[in-house]
Amino acid sequence: MPLLSVDEARERILARLTPVGTETIPLTACTQRVLAEDIIAANDLPPFDNSSMDGFALRAADTARAAPASPVTLRVVADIPAGSTPTISLAPGQAARIMTGAPLPAGADAVIPVENTDFHDRSAGAPLPPTITIEKALQPGENVRPRGMDIHAGEIALQKGAVLNPQGIGLLVMLGFAQVEVYKKPLVALLSSGDELLKAGAPLQPGKIRDSNSYMLASLVESAGAEILRLGIAKDSRESVHGLIEQAVQHRADMILSSAGVSVGAFDYVKEVVEAGGQLDFWRVNMRPGKPLAFGEYKGIPFIGLPGNPVSAFVGFEVFVRDAIGRLGGRLFRNRLKVRVRSEEEITSDGRESYLRAVVREADGQFIAKLTGHQGSGNLLSLVQANALLIIPAGVKCVPARQEVDAWLL
Ligand code: AMP
Ligand code: MG
């Protein structure tokens, strides 16, 4: 069987996943949650014509001939603080003191900032002047924020599938929402496998290493918007792997994510156990690092088996699992932004789609990349030191120095 391309593997995974259910939650708990409904504006924003300056509302036509040599004097007939509702209607020759955000009175169509008048008392509580003098003409609409300039009632303000960021939450409040329907967070069951693995914090023992993947992957899973069910470490035996995977079923996980045990080693039982209780769609992808990467389902739950080597597990997560969790969590699928960078040195590859650790810096308006240390799939330090992954397409064996390549900024 020829190796699957990264793109095809990604499409196959996404095609099998559908969003989990939804729930209604208060806006106070909405950060980074995914909208499960289109948000239709129930009112115009802004809801009324209002001033964008502290100043004086007036009729622009009254100022048409204003100039330093021929100043125009207007009579100040009202005071309009923010939050008030003006009842007056400005007649020609009249003005009203107005604060930022206060509604424009009838008759007014422009606002002159206080600093452009002869009224220089800007202290809080300053009494209303009887008149103001203006030396410059205003255009209709100047310093006015018209009703509906942002959005009109009935228009879509936020789309189903959008991730709620702080500014989105602010907009929801402007539109009158206090709660909103979002997708539930998918529950991702996470397990490691290997007789060599020690728990975090355990003293080293001969031949053993600590289970770093569980922690790194849990952190990645959380950053992708899912909840974690920590299943711990499976031993290299059918029974142990089976026992942990069954726990994912009992807890009704939305995805099972494992690391290690899916290559062709004599003790790689994960693949076998999944196939016994479900099926594997594929288990190898034409990429580096991360070729032994399995996808399928176990008793109806989507299963992704990442490689055991920490850098492979990380890259596999970023290439496949982040978007898979996004799909389960209802996110509108958006391709991650790539930037073009120039590598300082020649890069050689074996022809698989390759993800290389690099530090990207900006110099003379360009992104320049330098590879970090050992690029072996077990060398986590060079990933920690990197701020980008360079992407060398499949089929390319050599990228000359200074040639542009794609990169993901981490
Ligand atoms: P395997 O896929 O089981 O052959 O594992 C490949 C490599 O990844 C081996 O060097 C393992 O020791 C290592 N490895 C497997 N699981 C983990 C883990 N949870 N944390 C760190 N390294 C691991
Ligand atoms: Mg192993």
DSSP 10: H
- Please tell me the number of the ligand nearest to residue 197's CA: 1
CB 40 within 8 A of CB 155: yes
Ligand 1 atom at shortest distance from the alpha carbon of 193: 16
pLDDT at 139: 98
Among 51-55, 99-103, 265-269, 298-302, name the one with the lowest average pLDDT. 265-269
User: How far is Cα 267 from Cα 2, in angstroms, rounded to an integer?
Assistant: 24
For the segment 53-73, what is each residue's pLDDT rounded down to a tens digit? 999 999 999 999 999 999 999
Is 50-145 CATH 2.170.190.11?
yes
Grade residue 336 by pLDDT with cuts at 50, 70 and 90. confident
For residues 191-212, give the mean pLDDT. 97
Q: What residues sit around ligand 2, an ion, with C-beta below 5 angstroms?
A: 194, 260
For the segment 229-267, what is each residue's pLDDT rounded down to a tens digit? 999 999 999 999 999 999 999 999 999 999 998 888 887
Please tell me the distance between residue 312's alpha carbon and the centre of ligand 1 in angstroms.
10
CB 57 within 8 A of CB 95: yes
pLDDT at 262: 87
For residues 214-241, give the mean pLDDT. 97
- Closest CA to ligand 1's atom 10: 309
CA angle, 318 as apex, 333 and 253 as ends, to 5°?
75
For residues 201-217, give the mean pLDDT. 98
309 lines ligand 1 (CB under 6 A): yes
Q: Where are the domains of the chain?
A: 6-20+185-328, 22-43+152-183, 50-145, 339-409
For residues 114-120, give the mean pLDDT. 94
CATH code for residues 339-409? 2.40.340.10
User: How far is Cα 98 from Cα 117, in angstroms, rounded to an integer?
Assistant: 13
User: How far is Cα 358 from Cα 387, in angstroms, rounded to an integer?
Assistant: 6
**Architecture of the domain whose range is 22-43+152-183:** Alpha-Beta Complex (3.90)
pLDDT at 265: 83
pLDDT at 285: 96
Is 6-20+185-328 CATH 3.40.50.620?
no
pLDDT at 1 over 70: no
pTM for the model stands at: 0.93
pLDDT at 190 over 80: yes
| E-strand stretches of 309-393 | 339-343, 347-348, 353-363, 366-371, 388-392
Please state the φ and ψ torsions of residue 185, each to the nearest 5 degrees.
Answer: -75, 130
305 lines ligand 1 (CB under 6 A): no
User: How far is Cα 282 from Cα 292, in angstroms, rounded to an integer?
Assistant: 9
More confident residue, 373 or 103: 103
For the segment 356-391, what is each residue's pLDDT rounded down to a tens digit? 999 999 999 999 999 999 999 999 999 999 999 999
pLDDT at 121: 83
For the segment 20-37, what is each residue's pLDDT rounded down to a tens digit? 999 999 999 999 999 999
